[in-house]
């Protein structure tokens, strides 16, 4: 996967700029608040089809403008592609792919693959389970359309079941209906659980190898899928039955609480370093290495599944890493396209293939580095 060009029109603080990226390492350099992250946000938008920074997409339109556009030209192994996203004030966003309007988002998922690593990901280990579920879902949704469908389906069923639980509080006759929702929830839930289980097992192997290489220690990083139903890995059918039994057993509590207390919406990933939970015992350095290893593992999962390397986006991460970790990343990045940002170019040990100097939403100048 290689980006050839990114054109931003009235996107955030960019009025009209085109980035022509090199196939190797691209550095966006500049002082604070100049537009470096805005550019990364636009690229990652083309993978997730939403912003990872804001919920209200109108905020992406340049102050005072009516309309913003992102145009991404890239090569994905199949050929040269163009994705265009148009944002208008007060209207839903529009997508075009190779010039044709696309109305179903799922048709675009996975077309452009990138992996993002920002300082915010360093909270992945210490914060609540929702962060780790988001990490999982972000990756799985772009890899597997059926997963995306089932996840949306599960959320819909969960909402309906919760509404019914609240009705049951005042009218017990409604309780019979719960059985239908239990069946549906267990069906979608078991599908999701199986995919999460397999994905985390694969990720764990890659992350362990990356961790050893990054930390240069014999500490073993391990990721374990944590669900409230069982401690051991089970097949889909077994999970479905366990889930149904749990829903039946918890029914009174669920009604009293007015919500479903168990299911894949409570899942977590247990992150262990040499057998100890990193959430409670890890140092800052260990966390940095572990998250980096998990992110590189995510990239590995995409390339092994899709046969194409995702573009790597490192926002404000590299200058914080010591020489050894930086060198490791540069070695890993050989042959992959990378876009990284920094406000301290002096701290980046290798200057990559192309540097864009960003100033007030403009590319002030570029520098290409031979070899």
Ligand X SMILES: Nc1ncnc2c1ncn2[C@@H]1O[C@H](COP(=O)(O)OP(=O)(O)OP(=O)(O)O)[C@@H](O)[C@H]1O
Distance in angstroms (rounded) separating the CA atoms of residues 22 and 335: 11
Q: Could you say whether residue 240 binds ligand X (CB under 6 A)?
A: no
Q: Which option in ligand X, Mg ion, none does residue 38 bind, with CB closer than 5 to 8 A by kind?
A: ligand X
Q: In the window 116-175, what residues touch ligand X (CB under 6 A)?
A: none
> Which CB sits closer to ligand X, 38 or 204?
38
Q: Which of 37, 118, 197, 204 binds ligand X (CB under 6 A)?
A: 37
CB nearer to ligand X: give 44 or 199: 44
Asked if 35 touches ligand X (CB under 6 A), the answer is: yes
The span of 55-63, 80-88, 143-151, 287-295 binding ligand X (CB under 6 A) equals 55-63
Distance CA 358, CA 366 (A): 9
Residue 78 CB burial class (10 angstroms; 0-12, 13-18, ≥19): exposed
> Which DSSP letter does residue 63 get?
T
DSSP-derived letter for residue 104 is: -
Please choose which of ligand X, Mg ion, none residue 59 contacts, taking the beta carbon within 5 to 8 angstroms, the exact cut-off set by kind: ligand X
d(CA 243, CA 247): 6
Given Mg ion, ligand X, none, residue 189, with its beta carbon under 5 to 8 Å by kind, binds none
Binding site for Mg ion (CB under 5 A): 37
Residue 277 phi/psi, 5° resolution? -65, 125
**With 0-12 CB in 10 A as exposed, 13-18 as middle and 19+ as buried, what is 321?**
buried
Q: What are the CA-CA distances from residue 259 to residues 15, 189, 243 (Å)?
A: 47, 16, 15
Rounded distance between C-alpha atoms, residue 57 and residue 87, angstroms:
8
Binding partner of residue 30 among Mg ion, ligand X, none, CB under 5 to 8 Å per kind? ligand X
How crowded is residue 74: how many other Cβ atoms within 10 Å of its Cβ? Answer: 23
Q: Is 34 in the site for ligand X (CB under 6 A)?
A: yes
Residue among 183, 196, 121 nearest 151 (CA): 196
| For ligand X, the closer CB: 32 or 284 | 32
In the complex, the smallest distance separating the C-beta of residue 314 from ligand X, rounded to whole angstroms, is 12
- Which residue in the set 5, 16, 50, 59 belongs to the binding site for ligand X (CB under 6 A)? 59
What's the closest the beta carbon of residue 322 comes to ligand X, in angstroms? 20
User: 98 touches which of Mg ion, ligand X, none (CB within 5 to 8 A by kind)?
Assistant: none
Residue 35 interface partner, choices Mg ion, ligand X, none, CB cut-off 5-8 Å depending on type: ligand X
Subset of residues 256 to 315 that bind ligand X, contact rule: CB under 6 A: none
The footprint of ligand X on this chain (CB under 6 A) covers a number of residues equal to: 16
Q: How many residues does the chain have?
A: 371
Q: Which of 116, 331, 311, 312 is nearest to 210 (CA)?
A: 331
User: What is the distance between the alpha carbons of residues 226 and 268, in angstroms, rounded to a whole number?
Assistant: 5
The yes or no reply on residue 36 touching ligand X (CB under 6 A) is yes
Footprint of ligand X (CB under 6 A):
12-13, 30, 32-38, 59, 61-63, 316, 343
């Amino acid at each position: 996967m290689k980006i050839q060009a990114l054109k931003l029109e009235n996107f955030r603080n960019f009025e009209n700029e085109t980035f022509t990226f090199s196939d190797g390492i691209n550095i966006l350099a500049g002082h604070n608040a100049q537009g470096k992250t805005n550019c990364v946000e636009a690229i990652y938008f083309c993978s997730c089809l939403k912003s990872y920074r804001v919920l209200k997409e109108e905020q992406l339109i340049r102050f005072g403008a009516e309309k913003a556009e992102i145009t991404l030209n890239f090569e994905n192994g199949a050929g040269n592609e163009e994705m265009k996203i148009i944002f208008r004030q007060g209207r839903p966003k529009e997508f075009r792919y190779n010039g044709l309007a696309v109305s179903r988002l799922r048709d675009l998922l996975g077309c452009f693959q990138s992996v993002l690593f920002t300082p915010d990901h360093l909270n992945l280990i210490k914060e609540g389970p929702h962060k780790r579920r988001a990490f999982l879902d972000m990756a799985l949704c772009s890899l597997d359309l059926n997963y995306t469908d089932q996840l949306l389906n599960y959320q819909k069923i969960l909402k309906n079941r919760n509404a019914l639980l609240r009705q049951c509080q005042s009218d017990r006759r409604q309780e019979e209906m719960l059985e239908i929702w239990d069946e549906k929830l267990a069906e979608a839930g078991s599908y999701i659980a199986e995919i999460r289980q397999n994905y985390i097992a694969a990720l764990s192997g890659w992350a362990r190898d990356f961790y050893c290489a990054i930390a240069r220690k014999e500490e073993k990083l391990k990721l374990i899928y944590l669900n409230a139903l069982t401690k051991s890995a089970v097949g889909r059918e077994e999970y479905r039955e366990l889930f149904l039994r749990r829903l039946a057993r918890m029914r009174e509590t669920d009604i009293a609480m007015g919500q479903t207390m168990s299911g894949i919406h409570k899942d977590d990933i247990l992150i262990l370093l040499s057998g100890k939970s990193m959430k409670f015992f890890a140092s800052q350095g260990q966390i940095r290495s572990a998250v980096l290893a998990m992110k590189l593992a995510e990239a590995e999962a995409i390339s092994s599944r899709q046969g194409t390397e995702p573009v790597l986006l490192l926002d404000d991460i590299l200058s914080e890493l010591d020489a050894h970790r930086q060198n490791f990343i540069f070695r890993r990045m050989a042959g992959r396209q990378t876009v990284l940002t920094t406000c301290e170019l002096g701290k980046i040990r290798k200057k990559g293939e192309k540097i864009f100097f960003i100033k007030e939403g403009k590319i002030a100048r570029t520098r290409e580095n031979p070899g």
